[in-house]
Amino acid sequence: MFNHVTDKLRIWPWLLLALVFTGIVAFVAPYQLGVLAWSLSKLSLGAYLGYWIDRSIFHYCRPHAFLEHRSAVQPDAFAASMIRRALIIAASILALGLGV
């Protein structure tokens, strides 16, 4: 149980930094909080959509499948599938961030 919680919070300094900067924005320019919320929602939606786009297009070669069957695949297949997923997610984040 404790390991699961610490695993989720291993990047807490970045979360704390984001909250500090959000507080600074709220103090200096509170009218910008709506813009910040809109930008964060587009970023989150782009990441979510990119993940599911990758899963639906490449339903037959998901990254974790390569770890389960290590002897049956080439060693670079796992890395290639992770890079593929990262590129699709990045493209969908950029598309939503720049397009709307």
Tell me: the pLDDT tens digits for 55-99? 999 888 777 777 776 666 666 878 888 899 999 999 999 999 897
Does residue 77 or residue 42 have the better pLDDT?
42
Phi and psi angles of residue 30, each rounded to the nearest 5 degrees, phi first: -65, -25
pLDDT of 93 reads: 94
Residue 53 reports pLDDT greater than 80 = yes
Task: Give every CB contact of residue 82 below 8 A, 6+ residues apart in sequence.
Answer: 63
Q: How far apart are CA 14 and CA 18, in angstroms?
A: 6
Answering whether pTM is above 0.75, one says: no
Q: How many CB atoms lie within 10 A of CB 87?
A: 12
CB 61 within 8 A of CB 81: yes
